[in-house]
Structure formats: structure tokens, C-alpha cells
Structure 1
Amino acid sequence: MSESESIVAERLRIVSEFREDEREYILAQLGTKLDRRLVRYGADKVELELSIKERDTPSQKVVLECWITGEPRMVATSNETDLQSALHDVREDLFKQIDKHVNKRQDRARR
């Protein structure tokens, strides 16, 4: 999937203490894996928001929120002080949450 087709690239709002020149790096860290899960919903049904609080301090917190039409809001957080580790944490956590909802839906459909 190219960036022009990337749901994450299209639907991610980056707020709070991130610089505009970090967007490409953030997309590289989050995009491909999350896109594989989000593609089933379509970009028009997905909203993502990434924020960081108290950046570059021991109490830094990265938050990735996801809204998918018809699903409950999902929130992934990380207290890692290294930005790459924090982005990896929130990506993996959100992927697992989406996967859980996908599997739950599939289980209901099988019944």
C-alpha cells in the first residue's frame, strides 16, 4: 500500500508538541501495520489522533486514539521516553485492539 493509499496517512491528526517535520517519521512508524487492519473499514470510517504530553520528560505520555464508525473508541498509550519505542507501543496496542474487534465481529457472524 502506498502512502497515497494509506489510511493512516490520510486520517491521522497529529497534535500536541509534535513538529510538522516529524510527520513522515511518524507515518513510517505507524502506517503499514495499522493500514493492514484499517483497510477493511475504509478511510471514510476511520479517524486517528496522535498526541504527546510532557515531551522529553520522564513523565512523557504518547496517546493514539482511534474512532471507527460502528466501533467503540480505542485508545493506546505509552509512557516510553524514547519516541520510537513509544510509537511502537501505541501501534502494537492499537493493532491488538482493532484485531480484537475484528475477531469479535467474525465470531458473531459465524454464529
Structure 2
Amino acid sequence: MEDEYFLADDLVGEFRRLDADVIGPMSDVSEAQELLRSGPALDAALLDINLRNEMVFPVARMLRERKIPFVFTTGYDKASIRPEFPNVPLREKPIDISAMAEFLASKIDQH
């Protein structure tokens, strides 16, 4: 989920280049939570920490409960990550899109 349209579009393109089926991007926390409750199964997720001035941590908790690997992205520093997520990978903006896609693909392979 990425609230910056152009970055989200570039990320979607890169994931599709790697033959991933992309669901999203989701633009707010409630939309993402609903997807997790009733949508298709996910292999992994990319979460921007702040979506429309709402922190994404409730979605991160749901992903963790479902054992779905995820990565945080942010323009903030590591201190913005809640202590309950010490082992979640963080990629700070600006993001190297190819490297991000490859990294998340490796997380899926490990899972």
C-alpha cells in the first residue's frame, strides 16, 4: 500500500515485470483491513507507514497474525516504527524500486 500514486504505479509495474499478481495499491487502512478479512490470500505486502495521515500498524498486526511477510516503506526514520515490529524490514524513501521488488520476492521465496 503506497499513498504516493507515481511510486505505487512504478512498484506495481516492477512487481508485474517479475510475474507477480498485484492486488492494490490500497489507499487507506480500512480498505486494506477489509481486503485481509475477505479478499484473496496474499503472499506478501508492502506497507507505507503513513496512509492519508493514518498509521498502518493495524494492517501490519493483521499481516503478522496471518504470517504474511511484509516490508515497511517510509519517508520517516526507523524511530517511526513501533517497537512491536523490530524485525520487519524497513526501506526508506526514496526507494530503489528494482531492489525493493527483488527483496520482497526473496521474502516470498523464504516464506
**Fold conserved (TM > 0.5)?**
no
TM-score normalized with structure 1 length? 0.33
Larger radius of gyration: 1
- Structure with the higher fraction of residues in strand conformation: 1
Q: TM-score, normalised by structure 2?
A: 0.33
